[in-house]
Structure 1
Amino acid sequence: MSDILTSLLNAQLDVGLGKPILWREVIGNIFGLASALGGARRRIWAWPVGIIGNVILFTVFLGGVFHTPQDLNLWGQAGRQVFFLATSAYGWVVWAATRRNNGASQVAVHPRWATRRERIAGLTAAIIMLIVFYFALKALGSWGPLSDAWILTGSILATWGMARGWNEFWFVWIAVDIVGVPLLATAQYYPSALLYVFYGAFCIYGFATWWRAQATADDS
């Protein structure tokens, strides 16, 4: 049984790009995509689906630890999966409570713009986290520590903003994608890089969906 599980975890796909890719990287990103779709539609199942993807991708981005074909450790990418687990649990609880209060409605969050105080707090936290994460990831030997720190910082803010229902979190994700695509492509994490390209376009759709939902709520 353990041999079968090991074979499944290490299953690879050769796409002719120099190094094979792990099927679990593909599968983990599929769960991430499904979670993003659920988030855009404000469905509570987005959180548990995302958690499954986080667990899978944690092992993928520690390539040197788990001996993946890339053999590179992106500690920021792996670390954000851990944070996602905690934030997803929080978002799951908050959205579940909102949906219960909505009665028959399946909508689990009411989109809104962050307040001025929330934006200042978010920007301050972003600067502090970026500096701290850069030096921490550099000390850990992360490949591309500055880009990795940027992605980790943005991912934390975006996930927290999604849990709180802030429209701005979609723009933060775009900033993460802009840095994430070249980093992951250069590190040969091709499925993740490709998904980041799609996320960038998808974030525009997600923002438009939330913005319309807020406008409809304000008019009612």
Structure 2
Amino acid sequence: MDIKLFLQIVGVVLGLLYLWLEYRADIRLWIVGLVMPVVHGALYYKAGLYADFSMQVYYVLAGLYGWAVWHNAPRKGASAGAIAHTPWKWLPALVVGYAVLHAAIYGLLVHFTDSAVPFWDSLTTALCIVAYWMLSRKWVEQWLVWLAVDAVSAGLYVCKGIPLTAGLYVLYSVLAMAGYLRWRRQAAR
């Protein structure tokens, strides 16, 4: 079996498990989130998606951070570790953070790699960083950021010849909408 095919299959299985755990707001998502980057990192490197490859290091570190935040959240009280909407005061910082990350990653890809898709690779990578941080805060709107990432990534992965992973991201897009609706209902309670 081709290594890219094998990595795609394992990545799809881990990705589905991760998304199911995220949908349920289950802390075990962070454990799967520590294994999945190793598989996806190897796949993205083979496919020449260097920003996505380097992003996997961030995912491991962010996974440790997210697990610690969720694990150490207060267990009692109405707002203890609760799902909530993104505070309005955070929106400018999130937008500026995204723009700075996108520009920096794009510059690195253009000047230091042979990436054929530096704009799109840096776009999805910068959005992933923002979305993952929002997830660590249990903010509902992280699902909308993931929806954008998933839709762009699906097309990007088709272009890069990793169709099973592209299919996973199409499914992620559908599930991101379901997750958004579920978390929005939970935040309203």
Q: Same fold (TM over 0.5)?
A: yes
2:70 corresponds to which residue? 95
Q: Superposition pairs for residues 152-191 of structure 1, below 5 Å?
A: 152-191=125-164
Amino acid at match of 2:95: L
**By how many angstroms is 1:81 displaced?**
1.2
User: Is 1:111 matched up with 2:111?
Assistant: no
Corresponding residue number in structure 1 for 2:180: 207
Report if the CA contact (8 A) 1:29-1:53 is conserved: no
Q: Which residue of 2 aligns with 1:57?
A: 40
CA distance in 1, matches of 2:12, 2:54: 16
- How many aligned positions are there? 185
Using the size of structure 1 for normalisation, the TM-score is 0.80
C-alpha deviation, 1:12, in angstroms: 2.4
Match among 150, 154, 165 for residue 192 of structure 1: 165
Unaligned ranges ≥5, structure 2: none
Letter in structure 1 aligned against 2:151? I
Checking the alignment, whether the CA contact within 8 Å between 2:131 and 2:146 is kept in structure 1 is yes
Cα distance, 1:213 vs structure 2: 1.1
Q: After the TM superposition, which parts of structure 1 deviate over 3 Å for at least 4 consecutive aligned residues?
A: none
TM-score computed with the length of structure 2 as normaliser: 0.92
Counterpart residue number, 1:16: none
The Cα of 1:138 is off from its aligned counterpart by 1.7
Q: Matched residues, percent identical?
A: 26
Q: What are the within-5 Å matches in structure 2 for residues 4-19 of structure 1?
A: 11-12=1-2
User: Which structure is higher in helix share?
Assistant: 2
* Larger RCO, structures 1/2 (Cα 8 Å, 6+ apart): 2
1:130 aligns with 2:94: no
Question: 2: distance between equivalents of 1:109 and 1:35?
Answer: 19
Q: Alignment RMSD, CA only?
A: 1.5
Query: For the residues of structure 2 that align with 1:164 and 1:143, how far apart are their CA atoms?
Result: 34
Letter in 1 for 2:5: L
Which structure has the greater CA radius of gyration? Answer: 1
List runs of 5+ in structure 1 lacking aligned partners.
1-10, 14-20, 64-71
Aligned partner of 1:3 in structure 2 is none
Establish whether residue 150 from structure 1 lines up as the match of residue 140 from structure 2: no
Contact 1:29 1:57 in 2 (8 A): no
- Please report how far the alpha carbon of residue 117 of structure 1 lies from its aligned counterpart in structure 2 after TM superposition: 2.1
Q: Matched residues in 1 for 2:134 and 2:114: separation?
A: 29
Aligned pair partner of 2:20 in 37, 49, 55:
37
